[in-house]
Structure 1
Amino acid sequence: MTTPEAETTETEPPVQEPRDERAAASERSGSDARRPEERLEQAVRNAEQALIEYEIAVETFRVEVENFSRLHHQKLGPMYARLDELDAQIAEARAARTGDPEDLRRAQEARARVMPMPAVEELFHDWMDSEGLRPEAAAMLTDQSVRPPQRVRPSDEARKLYRELARKAHPDLADDERERDRRDEFISRVNAAYAHGDEALLRELAEEWAAGPVPAERRPSPTEELYARLEWLAQRKELLTVVARELEEGAIGSMLRLAPDDPDRLLDEIAEQLLAEVAEREAELARLLAG
């Protein structure tokens, strides 16, 4: 996967004869004054475009890996399961012939890898009765509450704190829109804490309100904002690089990279190899059972 890099291109203005010495000096001065910020803005635009392309490439590859993984499981999963079963039978046949403790241990380990799924009755032990699933089990399987939520009864102190905060921080007491927004956000937290009967959180909110609003920070200059934007873009790109590397180096990603243009052919080749291995295992098992 190629990583698009941000490139800064600069087009030099056509050379013109100066109209006069003073006008030419003024134009050079104005151009020099604007150029650093203009070049920074161009660098940010280039980096943003490069990041967008890179995100598209990473997401596209992620979807390809996910789809290939699903096809791999659907097409080859039964073959892998068959190989595990044959390995267990071979190990068990060998252990039955030798009686060696080490062979017995290997046979047990091989069989454990293909242990059949428990029956439905075992999965739902104590969950079922003569009428089917119990209400508690049905609720858990459907992500519903087993019992109706208990009603929260705030303490007297919680009620007192809530009333005081509601009076002090009511949005109608705001002098401007910004203060109203701050009070709206704060009151929403107060309401949530009271709804849960969280007296400790209400105390913390009371202390927060008593401390007053956080002083407004100095707004960064346009140049500072551009540099901050560049830094964020660089950090985002580093994160995407890690994601891309993990996808590429994973088992499915590595396989997909072997045949990016024709993954179905790769699956067919792997299936042929697995079928050959299955045939070899079956022949080995037949020899062990015959001997």
Structure 2
Amino acid sequence: MNATPDADATPGSERLEKAVRTAEAALIEYEIAVETFRIEVENFSRLHHQRLGPMYARLDELDAQVAEAVAARTGDPEDIRRAAEARGAVLPMPRVEELFFGWIDSDGMLPEAQAMLNEQPVSPPSRVRPTEETRKAYRDLVRRAHPDLAQDDAERERREAFLVRVNKAYADGDLAALTALAEEWEAGPLPEPVAELLRSEELYARLEWLAQRKEMLAARAAELEESAIGAMLKMAPEDPDALLDEIAEQLLGKVAERERELARLTQVQD
């Protein structure tokens, strides 16, 4: 049955409703962009620590050994001070994650720890940026299941819980999981039909909420971009995985250089 026309059924209210729908679609696209960047920052951080952490540790140890060799040769108080500083950098004060054996950091429970507690397999990301096919599947699924499209609180909660699983699959670069989630969404309950007419007050309130959420997302995006990892990602926007390889190559070169310097100093002392 069609709704009874009333004063709200005017060209003006129709334009307002169209503006709301356009703003909703734009916000979802922006939120997808922010979330994909957040996942890339997180993946880059984890891979940076896993792949390059040992190289940084080796470089710090070699710096300390070189400084100690120089101090032993010269006996200069300033060289001795530098050697002590270098050795101190190799043995820093324990960080939060070290105190909790790698289960927690200053931002909360690490993904690997959460997986272990939930009896799930621990699967660190294989790369920073999932494949283009995976990214497309993710974007299409978020567009359909986004909580902002819900008509009531229960539907919003269902969508929010579903998107947690979608984001996890995307972060893991798991195209098969995203495909299964898409099939699950298609087989799920249909959303309630949108009311044909909305009050102007509700539309204006919705536009205001959308604007506020856009501001919040913009602040989150700026925070990610200004972080140390975000700044590194901006150096290689097309292929962040190649940036990891480049940094690894540079670190290997520095390690080799320090080893040659240490060998030279050791030979001089002998």
* TM-score interval, normalised by the smaller of the two chains: 0.5 to 0.7
Aligned to 1:272: 249
Report how far residue 116 of structure 1 moved. 7.9
Contact 2:66–2:265 (CA under 8 A) maintained in structure 1: yes
Q: Distance in 2 between matches of 1:225 and 1:267?
A: 49
CA distance in 1, matches of 2:23, 2:68: 61
Aligned to 1:228: 205
Q: How do 1:91-240 and structure 2 match up within 5 A?
A: 91-115=67-91, 222-240=199-217
The offset of 1:47, in angstroms, is 0.9
TM-score scaled by length of structure 1: 0.50
Name the residue aligned to 1:20: none
Q: Which amino acid aligns with 1:77?
A: G
- Find 2:221's aligned residue among 241, 244, 250: 244
* Partner of residue 24 from structure 2, selected from 32, 38, 48: 48
Deviations 1:84-116 (A, max 9, x none): 111111111222222222222222221111118
Point out 4+ residue stretches in structure 1 off by more than 6 angstroms. Answer: 30-33
When residues 33 and 67 of structure 1 are mapped into structure 2, their CA distance, relative to the original with a 3 A threshold, is: closer
Q: Structure 1: which amino acid aligns with 2:233?
A: L
Normalised by the length of structure 2, the TM-score is 0.53
Q: Please list every run of 5 or more consecutive structure 2 residues that lacks an aligned counterpart in the other structure.
A: 1-5, 100-116, 118-197
Shift of 1:222: 3.0
Task: Indicate whether 1:287 and 2:264 are aligned.
Answer: yes
Shift of 1:257: 3.3
Q: Percent identical across equivalent pairs?
A: 76
Letter of the 2:66 counterpart: I
Q: Which structure ranks higher in relative contact order (CA pairs < 8 Å, sequence separation ≥ 6)?
A: 2
Greater CA deviation, 228-237 or 77-86? 228-237
Name the structure 2 match of 1:212.
Answer: none
Equivalent AA in structure 2 for residue 250 of structure 1 = S
* Corresponding position: 1:86 with 2:82: no
Unaligned runs of 5+ in 1: 1-29, 124-141, 143-220
Name the structure 1 match of 2:46. Answer: 70
Code of the residue aligned with 1:284 in structure 2: it is: E
RMSD in angstroms over aligned alpha carbons?
2.9
Task: Determine the structure 2 residue equivalent to 1:191.
Answer: none
Amino acid at match of 1:108: A
The alpha-carbon deviation at position 76 of structure 1 amounts to: 1.0
Cα displacement string for residues 162-192 of structure 1 (whole angstroms, at most 9, x for unaligned residues): xxxxxxxxxxxxxxxxxxxxxxxxxxxxxxx
Name the count of aligned residue pairs. Answer: 162
2:239 corresponding residue in structure 1: 262
Tell me the distance in 1 between the aligned counterparts of 2:206 and 2:78.
63
Secondary structure at the aligned position of 1:259 is classed as: coil
